[in-house]
């Protein structure tokens, strides 16, 4: 029996309401506070960019309570994303395997100093509620051509997952060799 294996990359966001059920603090408040401290660090050191959370942590530019908050929220969000994807996509695919889950808040911000809406955009970036997810799906149905396999995988992911997350973007879908 032949299977279709397709790699998919998603950007998805968990709703604030879902997160607040599990958290004592709002992820947006944590994002705002990190943004504020990142802006102060950039201003003081004239970097010309805003660093990633790990750099700010190493430089002691954000306090330990904030570091603990974002790390705990990141762990929870990663697990919620994993559980939601497995629960929602399991009926559509015979197997769902994760390659990577990376929270946007822990990556280097694309926001630059002295632009419009910098404070707001930086707070959104540092809010640990959305992630970049790489996964491999296996379908028991074998598609004869890659285009059909990719289109069907994209449609299934969208149909089974879209209504259960705040935002979903399927950034790439690629057939893997069997």
Closest to 36 in 3D by CA, of 106, 122, 110: 122
pLDDT value for 142: 78
Mean pLDDT for back-to-back runs of 10 residues, the chain (178 residues): 85 86 85 96 95 96 92 92 94 95 95 91 95 94 86 95 94 87
pTM of the model: 0.86
Phi, psi of 90 (to 5 degrees): -55, -40
Euclidean distance between the first and the last CA atom of the chain, given in angstroms as a whole number? 11
pLDDT value for 178: 57
Six-digit token string for 112: 């630059």
Closest to 77 in 3D by CA, of 115, 33, 41, 30: 30
Residue 13: helix, strand or coil by DSSP?
strand
pLDDT value for 1: 46
Centre a 10 Å sphere on the Cβ of residue 7 and count the other Cβ atoms it contains: 17
Q: How far is CA 57 from the centre of its chain?
A: 20
Q: Where are the beta strands (DSSP E) in 58-156?
A: 95-103, 130-139
DSSP structure string for 83-114 = HHHHHHHTTT-SEEEEEEEEEGGGSPP---TT
């Amino acid at each position: 029996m032949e299977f279709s294996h397709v790699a998919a990359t998603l950007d998805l966001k968990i709703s604030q309401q879902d997160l607040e059920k599990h958290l004592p603090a709002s992820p947006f408040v944590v994002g705002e506070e990190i943004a504020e401290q990142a802006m102060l660090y950039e201003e003081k050191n004239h970097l010309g960019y805003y660093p990633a959370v790990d750099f700010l942590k190493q430089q002691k530019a954000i306090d330990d309570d904030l570091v603990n908050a974002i790390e705990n929220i990141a762990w929870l969000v990663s697990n919620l994303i994993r559980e939601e994807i497995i629960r929602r996509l399991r009926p559509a695919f015979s197997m769902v395997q994760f390659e990577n889950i990376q929270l946007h808040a822990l990556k280097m911000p694309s926001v630059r100093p002295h632009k419009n809406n910098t404070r707001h955009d930086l707070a959104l970036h540092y809010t640990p509620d959305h992630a970049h997810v790489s996964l491999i799906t296996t379908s028991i149905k074998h598609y004869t051509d890659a285009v059909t396999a990719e289109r069907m995988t994209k449609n299934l992911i969208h149909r089974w997952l879209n209504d259960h997350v705040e935002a979903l973007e399927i950034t790439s879908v690629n057939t893997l060799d069997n």
